[in-house]
A and B are shown apart, each in its own frame.
Chain A
Amino acid sequence: MSEVANTSDNTASRSTSVVVVVQPSDVSIGKQFIGQLIRDLKIGFRSRGDFINPLLFYALAVMLFPFGLGTDATILKNIAPGVMWVLALLSVLMSLDTLFQRDYMEGTLEQQVLHGAPLSTLVLAKVLAHWITTALPLVLVSPVLAVMLYLPGHAIPVLVLSLLLGTPVLSLLGSIGAALTVSVRGGGLLLALLVLPLYIPVLIFGASATAAAANLDGPGYAGQLLWLSVFMVLSITLAPFAGAAALRISLEQ
């Protein structure tokens, strides 16, 4: 960071007459957001590993449960909501290190911080692109895996809906952790330590919504879904600012 700042200072002092300052107002926030989103989506879909790996992890890990617990349909049916949710959560966690890592390594992130455009917009766009490329496939494939764990058919729409509401929260909260650890060497485990405690409320409400939907006699699942919506709205409005602050701090050293 300091090196880049120094060189730009030098160029500025050498040719003071041709300093080009890109005003943040040159690009509107909306354009910045869309531009960043499209760029990240392109990169995300082109680097196949980044978006296939979490999906493969999810499917493989679901497959391990019948091996560990036996193929008894009632057991699998009972644990299915929790297993699906825990594994979705872990898959999102595993995908987080690709969120800022590449841009940090190649220096793009530094330039974007120096540029002066709102960093929170950038974080929101990056997280949305990351969610579309890594978490959305998980949500789409979850009905298939849920059927394999004998989750009742009437609970599957609720599972998908709860994942749709919950995984953006996981990505947004995770982006704060990813931003804090982007410059830490071997930060993967540290990231898990920072982020997993924050994931617990989402897991509780997501899994219990699915479980409530699977059990027709019990209380309804609307409350849990509403809580998940609350978390989503809160995290969309607040997390990008925390993520931006964290990025700035991480890039300062």
Chain B
Amino acid sequence: MGVLKTLWHKLGSPRWFYDMSRSWSMIFGILAVLLLGAGTLWGLAYAPADYQQGNSFRIMYLHVPTALVAQSSYLMMGIAGVVLLVWRMKLADVLAAAIVPIGFSMTLIALFTGAIWGKPTWGTWWVWDARTTSMLVLLFLFIGVGALRDAITNLETAGRACAVLAIVGMINIPIIKYSVDWWLTLHQTSSFSLVEAPTMPSSMWAPLLLNVLGMYCFLGAVLTSAVRTGILKREQNTAWVNEVVEQELA
């Protein structure tokens, strides 16, 4: 317990995090390349074709991981918002700012791959059903948070305003999750569940699991790098940042 408390206090120091996370990007990056490489190769080349959808289902190996990471990104932004408003932790704001473009891109990729998957499966690029619509809403929520941050010039105010908006928008996450049950339409229900046995054979979902883990590592790599840059930018007038920059330039 004491260790956790110390860690919590240390997280309040951007400098401590900057020193700590020096190698994180590299580690996450290597893991992401390995997992995504193995999962994608396995999924595209060796997994059996679907008996109904043929080979077109294979886009799932990109679609599902990006959709999961997109939702997790928003959740992280909301939690970071709570941390910022309650404990005024600077690092939380840097993280919330850094995650917006990443989450936006992931949502966009998920929507795009979903459209490509929808064409052969449902016969149309776009379907207004619960999940696709929720993802579209998620996209606009990311854009909204980004636009609000741009519109407010004071950095600290912008961060806290975005935190409020992100927390309010978190209402959307359960809506995404339960929308399938609310007005189930064309979209199939979740492919993955932690509590139930998967409905597809292991040779199909094992590569998916690898890709999901790989995509999370990719998120870790990009996010760490973005947060570190954000810290340097925000703390640019402090002595330690000048030291760090001089060291790294030398």
Question: Apart from A180-B148, A180-B164, A204-B183, what are 11 other A-B pairs with CB-CB below 8 Å?
Answer: A176-B165, A176-B168, A184-B152, A193-B140, A194-B144, A194-B165, A197-B140, A197-B169, A198-B172, A249-B161, A253-B157
Q: List 22 A-B contacts (CB under 8 A).
A: A173-B168, A176-B168, A177-B165, A180-B164, A180-B165, A181-B148, A181-B151, A183-B152, A184-B152, A190-B151, A197-B169, A197-B172, A198-B168, A198-B172, A201-B175, A242-B168, A245-B85, A246-B161, A250-B161, A252-B160, A253-B152, A253-B154
| CB of B27 closer than 8 Å to a CB of A | no
Evaluate contact between A193 and B144: CB separation under 8 angstroms: yes
| CB of A132 closer than 8 Å to a CB of B | no
Q: Which of B137, B144, B164 contacts A245 (CB 8 A)?
A: B164
Contacts of B133 in A (CB 8 A): 200
The verdict on A198 contacting B169 (CB below 8 Å), with A180-B161, A193-B143, A249-B164 known, is yes
Q: Is the interface of A mostly helix, strand, loop or mixed?
A: helix
Contacts of A193 in B (CB 8 A): 140, 143-144, 147
Nearest neighbor of A251 in chain B, beta-carbon distance: B157
> Roughly how many angstroms separate A173 CA and B169 CA in the complex, as a whole number?
11
| CB of A82 closer than 8 Å to a CB of B | no
Nearest neighbor of A250 in chain B, beta-carbon distance: B161
- Complex interface bits, A168-211 against B, C-beta within 8 A gives 1, otherwise 0: 00000100110011011001001001101110110010000000
| CB of B200 closer than 8 Å to a CB of A | no
> Roughly how many angstroms separate A252 CA and B154 CA in the complex, as a whole number?
10
Q: Which of B85, B140, B161, B165 contacts A196 (CB 8 A)?
A: B140
Give the top 7 A-B pairs by smallest Cβ distance, nearest first. Answer: A253-B157, A253-B154, A197-B140, A249-B160, A194-B144, A184-B151, A197-B137
Contacts of B152 in A (CB 8 A): 183-184, 253
Contacts of B160 in A (CB 8 A): 249, 252
B154 to chain A, nearest CB (A): 4
Q: Which of B154, B164, B183 contacts A176 (CB 8 A)?
A: B164
Which of B141, B147, B164, B167 has the most chain A CB atoms inside 10 A of its CB? Answer: B164
| CB of B41 closer than 8 Å to a CB of A | no
Contacts of A184 in B (CB 8 A): 151-152
Contacts of B144 in A (CB 8 A): 193-194, 197
> Roughly how many angstroms separate A253 CA and B143 CA in the complex, as a whole number?
23
Contacts of A249 in B (CB 8 A): 157, 160-161, 164
Q: Which residues of chain A in 228-249 are interfacial with respect to chain B, using CB atoms and an 8 Å cutoff? A: 242, 245-246, 249
Contacts of B161 in A (CB 8 A): 180, 246, 249-250
- Complex interface bits, B157-177 against A, C-beta within 8 A gives 1, otherwise 0: 100110011011101100100
B70 to chain A, nearest CB (A): 14
Range class of the A interface residue count: 20 to 34
Number of A-B contacts (CB under 8 A): 60
Range class of the B interface residue count: 20 to 34
> Roughly how many angstroms separate A77 CA and B10 CA in the complex, as a whole number?
63
A3 to chain B, nearest CB (A): 15
B156 to chain A, nearest CB (A): 8
Q: Which residues of chain A in 31-51 are interfacial with respect to chain B, using CB atoms and an 8 Å cutoff? A: none
Q: Which of A173, A200, A253 contacts B137 (CB 8 A)?
A: A200
> Roughly how many angstroms separate A184 CA and B160 CA in the complex, as a whole number?
14
A112 to chain B, nearest CB (A): 19
Q: Which of A187, A198, A200 contacts B151 (CB 8 A)?
A: A187
> Roughly how many angstroms separate A64 CA and B190 CA in the complex, as a whole number?
42
Q: Which residues of chain B in 119-168 are interfacial with respect to chain A, using CB atoms and an 8 Å cutoff? A: 133, 137, 140-141, 143-144, 147-148, 151-154, 157, 160-161, 164-165, 167-168
B226 to chain A, nearest CB (A): 23
Evaluate contact between B140 and A242: CB separation under 8 angstroms: no
Q: Which of B140, B141, B148 contacts A190 (CB 8 A)?
A: B148
Q: Which of A181, A197, A242, A253 contacts B167 (CB 8 A)?
A: A242
> Roughly how many angstroms separate A187 CA and B153 CA in the complex, as a whole number?
13
Q: Which residues of chain B in 64-111 are interfacial with respect to chain A, using CB atoms and an 8 Å cutoff? A: 85
Contacts of A187 in B (CB 8 A): 151
Contacts of B169 in A (CB 8 A): 197-198
> Roughly how many angstroms separate A253 CA and B156 CA in the complex, as a whole number?
9
Contacts of B171 in A (CB 8 A): 198
Evaluate contact between B147 and A190: CB separation under 8 angstroms: yes
Contacts of B165 in A (CB 8 A): 176-177, 180, 194
Nearest neighbor of B167 in chain A, beta-carbon distance: A242
Contacts of A204 in B (CB 8 A): 183
Nearest neighbor of A227 in chain B, beta-carbon distance: B182
Contacts of A246 in B (CB 8 A): 161, 164
